[in-house]
């Protein structure tokens, strides 16, 4: 019986959680068919014979997530990301296996590679799915509006291409005996035209918005660029990062890198403090991953007040400094 | 979010329409390129008659002319959308010469398919770089910067090329009154493409169940500060 195949993204010898989540959806679709995985690596870092290589260990370990066969594709061109090459390799493996479906995580790279697979093979692609069932047609549930809305859809395809919405389905463990094989792809020159030629590291300093444990954000209610001083102060006291809504970046008060939202950064902190933010769908798509939300808003009826865990009603320009002062006072008492 | 009675679309009676954030930055970038290098910029959309307003908005920012692939407002899947755009670009290039760059938003705000630009590039046989936050024309090639883990990945591809861009690429300008007046006189070519059979077919939309947050009001005004700090201590962030 023909298998399904999933692309596994990895770094530092570890498969991404998003790829392991993808395997759960792929296994459920496969319903007993074999699950194959594709792991890309460059030969420089590959040492199959000794079995010490991190990529080999990673591939071997995919059995814990139900993978029956892990294919390690090696090619010198894989030293840097080349999305057309990735798509070519994934397409070649799917052809060789006569795969009934191809899966990848709905990450930036996963979506991009799968769209290229679809364009090359003239196959439809359903992105950011949370459930997929085999059948004719295939039925699936996918995210829209950054996850604020779900779509039930039918997919008519001989080889469905599916990406799985990040962090929307749990990782599932299963014990399978994994066979690790080497896959040698054939790449054409034109598939290496688009490739990463340089990586520019981000300017250091400060806590990264995506990784911060606490994010303090300001919206229209902050009123001005200068108004963010009190937001920065509170974020500093909490060891957190400063965020903002789209209105703020459009007004030029803060750089786009500070924007929390569907078209900005999606965050998942322990605590999100939203000050003077109404809570439009576009914003909530970026902060709904927060474990807890504290909303500070003069409008008790603002949408964010209904989507938060804690709320304080009133003028943020008085409340935010009062909170900072209280934190300082408490620290004073403590020592 | 409120759905229309048939659950096939959002209820839009009380909503306004606008160019989506990624695409707005694409329009701004095209205008800036032409301002810096000379040449012509064209804006294209596929959508209902009402979308003509967004084409005028783009021309008010400085785009020279528009192509409107007019639909009846029903859902078009990514493949059908790409097919109509490919046909329109081929026809325009046959008449007016090739585009050096074709810019798309990285993904649509509503459906989030992440694929129309890549499908168009594939059909035209041009390189495509996605998710760009910075684009620099350097001679006959274009340097592209994409946000990635801990910084930016850089690509350089020869033109003609297809680029998909993201909000943050630039800070779009607001249209001026003279810009709006000029836009009213700029040409819009309207055509009604045939819709290819959808292979990814919308069956219905569902508003997901709430996340179960129920706000505990900690107080109002600055006097709420002690209660807030008590909460911060309880959850372990101070």
Round to whole Å and give the CA distance between A50 and A14: 19
Query: Across the interface, which of A149, A163, A311 has its CB nearest the CB of B1?
Result: A149
Segment among A329-333, B116-120, B194-198 with least mean pLDDT: A329-333
**A269 vs B: CB within 8 A:** no
- What is the pTM for the complete model shown? 0.93
Instruction: Convert the pLDDT of each residue in A188-223 to its tens digit.
Output: 999 999 999 999 988 766 788 988 999 999 999 999
Looking at the structure, tell me whether residues A49 and A130 fall in a common domain.
Answer: yes
Domain-embedded: residue A206: no
Domain-embedded: residue B238: no
Distance from CA of B112 to the nearest CA of A (A): 6
CB contact under 8 A, A112 and B237: no
Round to whole Å and give the CA distance between A95 and A98: 5
**A48 vs B: CB within 8 A:** no
Domain-embedded: residue B148: yes
Instruction: Convert the pLDDT of each residue in B147-197 to its tens digit.
Output: 887 889 999 999 999 999 999 999 999 999 999 999 999 999 999 999 999
Looking at the structure, tell me whether residues A185 and A36 fall in a common domain.
Answer: yes
Q: pLDDT band for position A316 (50/70/90)?
A: very high
CB contact under 8 A, A199 and B148: yes
CB contact under 8 A, B221 and A319: yes
Check whether A52 has a pLDDT greater than 80: no
- Residue B170 domain boundaries: 21-191
Q: Tally the domains of chain B.
A: 1
Query: Across the interface, which of A120, A148, A202 has its CB nearest the CB of B150?
Result: A202
Round to whole Å and give the CA distance between A280 and A266: 14
| Last residue of one domain, picked from the residues A192, A222, A250 | A192
CB contact under 8 A, B206 and A128: no
Looking at the structure, tell me whether residues A188 and A225 fall in a common domain.
Answer: no
* Alpha-carbon torsion angle A301, A303, A308, A313, nearest 10: -30
The helix or strand, by DSSP H or E, that contains position B106, with its residue range, turns out to be none
Distance from CA of B17 to the nearest CA of A (A): 14
Distance from CA of B84 to the nearest CA of A (A): 15
Instruction: Convert the pLDDT of each residue in A149-169 to its tens digit.
Output: 999 999 999 999 999 999 999
- Closest chain B residue to A316, measured at CA: B221
Query: Across the interface, which of A143, A156, A309 has its CB nearest the CB of B112?
Result: A143
Domain-embedded: residue A197: no
Domain-embedded: residue A287: yes
CB contact under 8 A, A311 and B148: no
Round to whole Å and give the CA distance between B219 and A193: 59
**A219 vs B: CB within 8 A:** no
**A178 vs B: CB within 8 A:** no
Domain-embedded: residue A198: no
Domain-embedded: residue B227: no
The ipTM (two decimal places) reads 0.95
At A43 the pLDDT is: 65
Domain-embedded: residue B15: no
- Closest chain B residue to A319, measured at CA: B222
Q: Give the Å distances, CA to CA, from A142 to A168, A238, B11.
A: 10, 36, 19
Q: Tally the domains of chain A.
A: 2
Check whether A13 has a pLDDT greater than 80: yes
| Last residue of one domain, picked from the residues A192, A224, A256 | A192
Q: pLDDT band for position A50 (50/70/90)?
A: very low
Q: Which residues of A touch B236 (CB under 8 A)?
A: 270
Q: Which residues of B touch A192 (CB under 8 A)?
A: none
Q: Which residues of A touch B238 (CB under 8 A)?
A: 237-238, 327, 330
At A205 the pLDDT is: 66
Check whether A46 has a pLDDT greater than 60: no
**DSSP secondary structure of A14-54:** EE-HHHHHHHHHHHHHHTTS-EEEEEEE-GGG--TTTT--H
Domain-embedded: residue A208: no
Domain-embedded: residue B75: yes
Domain-embedded: residue A204: no
Q: Which residues of B touch A301 (CB under 8 A)?
A: none
Q: Which residues of B touch A264 (CB under 8 A)?
A: 167-168
Strand extents, DSSP E, B93-127: 101-105
CB contact under 8 A, A194 and B216: no
DSSP code of B170?
A: S
- Residue A98 is encoded by which pair of tokens? 């006569």
At A51 the pLDDT is: 39
Instruction: Convert the pLDDT of each residue in A126-149 to its tens digit.
Output: 999 999 999 999 999 999 999 999
Domain-embedded: residue B218: no
Mean model confidence pLDDT for chain A: 93
CATH number, domain with residue A107 = 3.40.50.620
CATH number, domain with residue B86 = 3.40.50.620
- Residue A165 domain boundaries: 4-192
Domain-embedded: residue B60: yes
Looking at the structure, tell me whether residues A36 and A127 fall in a common domain.
Answer: yes
CATH number, domain with residue A289 = 3.40.50.1220
Looking at the structure, tell me whether residues A79 and A28 fall in a common domain.
Answer: yes
CB contact under 8 A, A312 and B220: yes
Query: Across the interface, which of B113, B129, B225 has its CB nearest the CB of A323?
Result: B225
Looking at the structure, tell me whether residues A139 and A250 fall in a common domain.
Answer: no
Looking at the structure, tell me whether residues A244 and A170 fall in a common domain.
Answer: no
Instruction: Convert the pLDDT of each residue in A285-309 to its tens digit.
Output: 999 999 999 999 999 999 999 899 9
Q: Which residues of A touch B129 (CB under 8 A)?
A: 194
**A16 vs B: CB within 8 A:** no
Segment among A70-79, A239-248, A286-295 with least mean pLDDT: A70-79
């Amino acid at each position: 019986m023909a298998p399904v195949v999933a692309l596994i993204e990895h770094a530092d010898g570890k498969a991404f959680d998003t790829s392991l989540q993808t395997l759960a959806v792929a296994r459920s679709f496969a319903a007993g068919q074999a699950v194959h995985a594709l792991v890309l690596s460059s030969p420089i870092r590959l040492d199959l014979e000794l079995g010490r290589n991190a990529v080999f260990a990673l591939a071997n370990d995919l059995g814990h997530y139900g993978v029956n066969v892990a294919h390690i594709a090696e090619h010198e061109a894989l030293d840097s990301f080349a999305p057309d090459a990735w798509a070519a390799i994934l397409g070649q493996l799917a052809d060789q296996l006569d795969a009934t479906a191809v899966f990848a995580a709905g990450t930036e790279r996963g979506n991009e590679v799968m769209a290229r697979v679809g364009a090359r093979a003239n196959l439809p692609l359903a992105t950011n799915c949370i459930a997929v069932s085999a059948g004719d047609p295939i039925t699936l549930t996918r995210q829209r509006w950054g996850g604020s809305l779900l779509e039930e859809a039918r997919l008519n395809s001989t080889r469905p291409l599916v990406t799985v919405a990040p962090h929307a389905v749990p990782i599932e463990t299963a014990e399978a005996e994994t066979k690790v094989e080497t896959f040698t792809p054939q790449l054409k020159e034109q598939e290496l035209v688009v490739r990463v030629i340089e990586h520019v590291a981000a300017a250091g300093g400060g806590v990264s918005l995506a990784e911060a444990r606490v994010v303090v954000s300001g919206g229209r209610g902050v009123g001005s660029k200068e108004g963010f001083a009190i937001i920065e102060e509170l974020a500093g006291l909490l060891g957190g990062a400063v965020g903002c809504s789209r209105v703020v970046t459009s007004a030029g008060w803060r750089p786009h890198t500070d924007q929390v939202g569907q078209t900005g950064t999606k965050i998942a902190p322990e605590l999100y403090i939203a000050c003077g933010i109404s809570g439009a769908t576009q914003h909530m798509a970026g902060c709904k991953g927060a474990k807890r939300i504290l909303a500070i808003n003069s409008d008790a009826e603002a949408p964010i007040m209904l989507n938060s865990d804690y709320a304080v009603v009133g003028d943020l320009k008085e409340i935010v400094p009062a909170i900072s002062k209280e934190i300082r006072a408490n620290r004073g008492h403590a020592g | 979010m409120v759905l229309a009675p048939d659950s096939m679309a959002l209820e839009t009676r009380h909503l306004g329409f606008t160019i989506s954030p990624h695409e707005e930055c694409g329009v701004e970038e095209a205008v800036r390129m032409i301002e810096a290098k000379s040449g012509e910029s064209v804006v294209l959309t596929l959508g209902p008659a009402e979308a003509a307003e967004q084409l005028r908005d783009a021309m008010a920012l400085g785009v020279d002319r528009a192509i409107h692939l007019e639909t009846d407002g029903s859902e078009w899947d990514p493949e059908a959308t790409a097919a109509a755009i490919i046909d329109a670009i081929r026809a325009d290039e046959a008449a007016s010469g090739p585009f050096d760059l074709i810019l798309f938003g990285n993904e649509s705000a509503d459906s989030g398919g992440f694929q129309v630009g890549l499908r168009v590039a594939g059909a035209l046989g041009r390189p495509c770089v996605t998710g760009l936050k910075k684009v620099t024309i350097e001679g006959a090639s274009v340097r592209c910067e994409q946000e990635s883990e801990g910084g930016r990945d850089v690509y350089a591809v020869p033109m003609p090329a297809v680029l998909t861009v993201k909000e943050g690429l630039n800070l779009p300008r607001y249209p001026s009154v003279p810009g709006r007046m000029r836009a009213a006189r700029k040409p819009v070519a309207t055509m009604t493409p045939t819709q290819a059979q959808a292979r990814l077919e919308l069956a219905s939309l569902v508003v997901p169940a709430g996340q179960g947050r129920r706000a505990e009001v900690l107080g109002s005004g600055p006097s709420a500060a002690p209660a807030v700090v008590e909460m911060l201590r309880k959850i372990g962030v101070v």
